[in-house]
């Protein structure tokens, strides 16, 4: 079977398992059947609320991802141009990625407004995969190309621009596929801290009022957002691999 066929089969099996768990009531009424969730999307008012929340969450995730990408580029280039900093920056990045989301959240809440925290959380969660991919890509230039640049008298900056960055782009776009779902997750967690916009508040209100169909619909919307953004990064990876791979 081809890749797309396997993906479709996987989705069908997942939906069938979800429907079975809901029908057998293994978790009581907490797990709603997919057919019940579909009725939530069929309701015009509920659909409007979910679409508005999806737009806000997607914007926060993309904005946070953009800031994380900018920070990863700055720090990664700095580590490449100044190799003696590489070890320390790698350790700082590892420490940052190891801190649990719930521990980072209060710090961000103290530094930013509640409506800005989701973007900051998205940036925090997406930074390390992007940084790791970038520095790995910048170091992936072939020794022959690096020796040629040195033999031609190219400055370190010229080698970076003409050899290392083109070699790093395919690796970076692969890292983007890992980072963008984390940005969505970070954005939703940030919304739980008191933001008035996005899918996060919809989930919280639905849980507090035990509106399980709406909560599961919000979960589905979050998954769709992550998949759409992942697909965009996968398309970008395909383009860069054909051009620079």
Assigned domain for 23 exists? no
pLDDT level of residue 220 (50, 70, 90 thresholds): very high
42-91 residue pLDDT tens: 999 999 999 999 999 999 999 999 999 999 999 988 888 787 877 888 88
Q: What is the pLDDT of residue 130?
A: 94
Assigned domain for 12 exists? no
Q: What is the pLDDT of residue 93?
A: 80
pLDDT level of residue 39 (50, 70, 90 thresholds): very high
- Could you tell me which of 32, 72, 52, 42 has the C-alpha nearest to residue 179? 72
Q: What is the pLDDT of residue 72?
A: 93
Q: Which stretches of the chain are DSSP H helices?
A: 3-24, 34-42, 44-81, 86-98, 101-111, 117-138, 143-151, 156-159, 165-191, 199-208, 212-244
Q: What is the CATH number of the domain that holds 202?
A: 1.10.3720.10
Q: Is the pLDDT of residue 201 over 90?
A: yes
Q: Are 183 and 125 in contact (CB under 8 A)?
A: yes
87-110 residue pLDDT tens: 888 888 888 778 887 788 788 888
pLDDT level of residue 22 (50, 70, 90 thresholds): confident
Assigned domain for 21 exists? no
pLDDT level of residue 23 (50, 70, 90 thresholds): confident
Q: What is the pLDDT of residue 235?
A: 93
122-180 residue pLDDT tens: 999 999 999 999 888 887 766 665 556 666 666 566 666 666 777 788 889 999 999 99
Environment class of 187 (CB within 10 Å of its CB; exposed 0-12, middle 13-18, buried 19+): buried
Q: How many domains does the chain have?
A: 1
Assigned domain for 14 exists? no
pTM, entire model: 0.88
Q: What is the pLDDT of residue 59?
A: 95
Assigned domain for 227 exists? yes
| Residue ranges making up the domain that contains 48 | 44-244
Assigned domain for 215 exists? yes
Q: Percent of the chain, pLDDT > 90?
A: 44
Segment 186-214 shows an average pLDDT of: 90
Distance of CA 119 to the CA centre of its chain: 12
Assigned domain for 5 exists? no
Q: Can you read off the two tokens belonging to residue 150?
A: 């040195």
Q: What is the pLDDT of residue 105?
A: 79
Segment 37-44 shows an average pLDDT of: 92
Assigned domain for 201 exists? yes
Q: What is the pLDDT of residue 152?
A: 61
């Amino acid at each position: 079977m081809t890749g797309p066929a396997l993906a479709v089969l996987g989705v069908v099996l997942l939906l069938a398992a979800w429907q079975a768990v809901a029908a057998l009531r293994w978790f009581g009424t907490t797990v709603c059947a997919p057919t019940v969730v579909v009725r939530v999307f069929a309701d015009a008012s509920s659909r409007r609320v979910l679409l508005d929340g999806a737009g806000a969450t997607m914007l926060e995730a993309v904005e946070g991802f953009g800031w994380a990408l900018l920070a990863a580029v700055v720090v990664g280039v700095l580590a490449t141009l100044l190799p003696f900093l590489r070890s320390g920056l790698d350790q700082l990045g590892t420490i940052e990625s190891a801190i649990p989301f719930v521990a980072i959240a209060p710090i961000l809440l103290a530094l930013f407004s509640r409506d800005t925290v989701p973007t900051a959380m998205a940036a925090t969660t997406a930074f390390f995969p992007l940084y790791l991919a970038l520095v790995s890509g910048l170091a992936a230039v072939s020794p022959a190309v690096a020796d040629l640049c040195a033999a031609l008298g190219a400055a370190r900056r010229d080698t970076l621009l003409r050899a290392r960055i083109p070699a790093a782009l395919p690796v970076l776009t692969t890292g983007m596929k890992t980072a963008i779902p984390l940005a969505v997750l970070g954005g939703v967690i940030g919304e739980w801290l008191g933001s008035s916009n996005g899918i996060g508040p919809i989930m919280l209100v639905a849980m507090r009022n035990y509106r399980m169909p709406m909560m599961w619909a919000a979960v589905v919307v979050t998954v769709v957002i992550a998949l759409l953004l992942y697909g965009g990064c996968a398309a970008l990876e395909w383009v860069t691999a054909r051009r620079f791979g």
